[in-house]
């Protein structure tokens, strides 16, 4: 969408409302808990649409300050990390599901380049 997508998180305080506006640095696929589903798909437009032809794979995006945002593919042009490898300052962003953890390293690399 944009060359430099910024973090949409905001903070309400007693005095003002501030936006994070940090640069988005990386993303990883949003996985379902079920092996049959695999990666989560949904409407491309964030405000919603009918599901179907316009569905896109969803990712967890991370900003420089560690905020996590779930958005469809194409929201920000950043490198993709393998599921369960993206770290925030508080630890892992997304715990891998048992079905993904059981895949061999070759299968993981083949699926998530």
Say how far apart CA 95 and CA 14 lie, in whole Å. Answer: 34
Averaged pLDDT for residues 74-102: 77
Q: Which residues touch 3 (CB under 8 Å, ≥6 apart)? A: 77
Which range (5-9, 51-55, 97-101) has the least confidence?
51-55
> What DSSP line would sit under 29-56, residue for residue?
E-B-SSTTT-B-EEESSTT---SSTTEE
pTM: 0.74
Q: How many CA atoms lie within 13 A of 10 on its CB side?
A: 7
- How do residues 22-41 score in pLDDT, each as one tens digit? 899 999 888 877 777 778 88
pLDDT of residue 2: 45
């Amino acid at each position: 969408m944009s060359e430099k997508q910024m973090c949409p998180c905001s903070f309400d305080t007693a005095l003002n409302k501030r936006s994070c506006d940090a640069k988005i640095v990386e993303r990883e696929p949003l996985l379902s808990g079920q092996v049959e589903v695999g990666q989560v798909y949904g409407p491309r437009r964030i405000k919603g649409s009918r599901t179907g032809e316009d569905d896109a794979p969803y990712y967890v995006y991370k900003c420089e300050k560690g905020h996590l945002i779930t958005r469809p593919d194409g929201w920000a042009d950043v490198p993709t990390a393998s599921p369960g490898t993206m770290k925030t300052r508080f630890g892992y962003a997304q715990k891998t599901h048992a079905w993904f953890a059981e895949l061999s390293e070759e299968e993981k690399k083949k699926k998530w380049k």
